[in-house]
């Protein structure tokens, strides 16, 4: 059983209210890209902690969760992220490093990415691409 997210079309930045579907174990399916997402766990973490968090996820029995790329985060939309993601802040870490002490995060409200020192805190979303 999938839960269709109704009402999302009323929020700026969300153009397709049926795009994200949540299955019973909480995995979010992006019907446009077929990527699967895990909602924000509700706590800010460093880039290293975010990597450890996604590396230990086994939601749905899948062992291949990872941090998303900047392009994958950008593809989720800007302005307002679907409520299914439960994003507790403005920004989520990407998997991409800028240099040895910084990595990229995506700011959904502004629709752009920024580099941030890896010891700073941001939200973490996990993604996988079904095979």
pLDDT tens profile 104-130: 999 998 999 999 999 999 999 999 998
Assign 11 a pLDDT band (cuts: 50, 70, 90): very low
How large is the average pLDDT for residues 47-67?
Answer: 97
Least confident of 18-22, 95-99, 102-106: 18-22
Residue for token digits 């269709």?
A: 4
**Structure tokens that stand for 20 in this block:** 């994200």
The pTM of the full predicted model, rounded to 2 decimals, is 0.84
Q: Rounded mean pLDDT of the chain? A: 87
**Structure tokens that stand for 78 in this block:** 């800007």
The enclosing domain of 95 has a CATH number of 3.10.100
**Inter-CA distances, 128 with 10, 15, 20, 29, Å:** 28, 23, 14, 10
Instruction: Return the ∠ at Cα 58 (arms to 54 and 60), rounded to 5°.
Output: 125
Domain that holds residue 10: 3-128
Q: Indicate the number of domains in the chain.
A: 1
């Amino acid at each position: 059983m999938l839960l269709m997210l109704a009402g999302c079309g009323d929020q700026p930045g969300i153009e397709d209210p049926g795009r994200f579907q949540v299955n019973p174990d909480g995995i979010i399916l992006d019907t446009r890209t077929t990527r699967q997402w895990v909602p924000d766990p509700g706590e800010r973490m460093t880039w290293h902690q975010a990597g450890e968090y996604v590396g230990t996820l086994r939601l749905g029995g899948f062992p291949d969760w990872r941090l998303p790329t900047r392009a994958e985060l950008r593809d989720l939309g800007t302005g307002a992220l679907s409520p299914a993601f439960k994003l507790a802040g403005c920004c989520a870490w990407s998997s991409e490093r800028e240099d040895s002490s910084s990595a990229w995060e995506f700011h959904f409200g502004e629709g752009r990415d920024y580099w941030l020192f890896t010891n700073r805190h941001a939200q973490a979303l996990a993604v996988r691409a079904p095979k």
